[in-house]
Amino acid sequence: MSSFPQAASLQSRSLRYKASLPRNRWNAFLTVIAALFSLIAVLPLVLVLGYVLIKGGSLLSLSLLSELPPAPGLEGGGIGNAVVGTVIVTLVASLIAIPVGVGGGIYLAEFSRAGWFSQFVRFGTNVLAGVPSIICGVFIYGLIVSTRIFFGQSYSAMAGGMALSVLMLPTVIKTTDEALKLVPQELRLGAMGLGASSFVTVTRITLPTAFKPIATGVVLGIARAAGETAPLIFTALFSPFWPEGLFNPIATMSVLIFNFAIMPYEAQTALAWAASFVLVLMILLSNLFARWLGRFSSY
């Protein structure tokens, strides 16, 4: 019986943390290095947000978001047409990419997981995700703009939305595919055991279960498309006026920033910084919204 107190005392001494041990010093050193690298990874984001806030945040006002941009060299005005145009073009892209992307992800996850066609689609999606955005713009330019297929119009909001939808597709397809794969197989088997068809199982069981991860991927895809510039230069071009329909040139914030930033006028440069701040803020809020949706995921 006398050996038990000695064993307990020995165990308490062996479990006590000793900072002087070589392994603990090495562990502390590597922890500091990992924290430093994490800080370096986040530092560019902090610097970009801070710099854009300093340069353009002071110009944020109601008139900035509700007025048209001034003529080159003149002061005043705002970026209202670009804000509305960005919303319109992104909405067109979403209406095209979300149904196609979600439908493609459902097919890959539910109906053709291991076939040669599904492998081809997954490979093509991965390749498309790495294609430069300017290539998508040139593709839509050759397919839509140069052929004037939309009522004889060339540059248009519709063409810009189609170019952005190509960029959104890989994110939506991959997110839907991966989200549906995480749905427990028992749910599918239980629904089919009760006599439900494949269509009913997908629409009533698996898709609602994976809705939140899919919605997160959709929001991330929209955030990426809203900040693109190169595809819109080739497709939507720019307009100094309020939007005049889907089949006419339209102003967007990214193209406005590009046009105004290269002008030799301080007023236009200031508007470019203000538009940069608004655009970064919109994308940041979209990503935060996506993270908020991800918290409610059941996986």
pLDDT tens digits along 59-101: 888 888 999 998 888 888 889 999 999 999 999 999 999 999 9
Q: What is the pLDDT of residues 144-170, one digit of tens each?
A: 999 999 888 889 999 999 999 999 999
**Does 298 score more than 90 pLDDT?**
no
C-alpha 284/C-alpha 48 separation (Å) is: 12
Q: Would you state the structure tokens that stand for residue 275, as one six-digit string?
A: 């538009």
Structure tokens at 227: 């900040």
User: Is residue 43 over pLDDT 70?
Assistant: yes
This prediction has a pTM of 0.82
Q: Who contacts 183 (Cβ-Cβ below 8 Å, separation ≥6)?
A: 205, 206, 209, 210
Measured at the CA of 201, the angle between CA 195 and CA 204, to 5 degrees, comes to 115
Radius of gyration of the chain (CA): 26
More confident residue, 247 or 198: 247
Residue of higher predicted confidence among 96 and 45: 96
Averaged pLDDT of the chain: 87
What sections of 150-206 are H helices per DSSP? 157-181, 185-193, 198-201
Q: List the single range of 18-22, 87-91, 172-176 with lowest mean pLDDT.
A: 18-22
Q: pLDDT at position 31, please? A: 93
- Rounded to an integer, the average pLDDT of 180-193 is 86
Average of per-residue pLDDT across 13-33: 81
CA dihedral over 50, 55, 56, 59, signed as positive or negative: positive
pLDDT, position 159: 94
Nearby residues of 162 by Cβ (< 8 Å), 6 or more positions away:
92, 93, 96, 140, 144, 235
What was the pLDDT predicted at 13?
57
Cα–Cα distance measured from residue 246 to residue 95, given in angstroms and rounded to the nearest whole number: 13
Rounded CA-CA distance 256/249 in Å is 13
pLDDT of residue 299: 47
Q: What is the mean pLDDT of the segment spanning 274-298?
A: 80
Cross-strand pairs, 150: 153
Instruction: In whole angstroms, give the CA distance from residue 175 to residue 127.
Output: 15
Residue 248 sits at the vertex; the CA angle it makes with 242 and 222, to the nearest 5 degrees, is 80
Identity of the residue numbered 114: A
Res. 8 pLDDT band, cuts 50 70 90: low
Phi/psi for 150 (5° steps) reads -95, 90
pLDDT of residue 5: 57
Question: Sign of dihedral through CA atoms 139, 235, 290, 108?
Answer: negative
**Contact (CB, 8 A) for 108 and 134:** no
How far apart CA 114 and CA 153 sit, in angstroms, is 43
Q: How many helices (H) and strands (E) does the chain have?
A: 14, 0
Share of the chain above pLDDT 70, in %: 93
Q: In which band, very low, low, confident or very high, does the pLDDT at 187 lie, cut at 50, 70 and 90?
A: confident
Cα–Cα distance for residue pair 82/236, rounded to 1 Å: 12
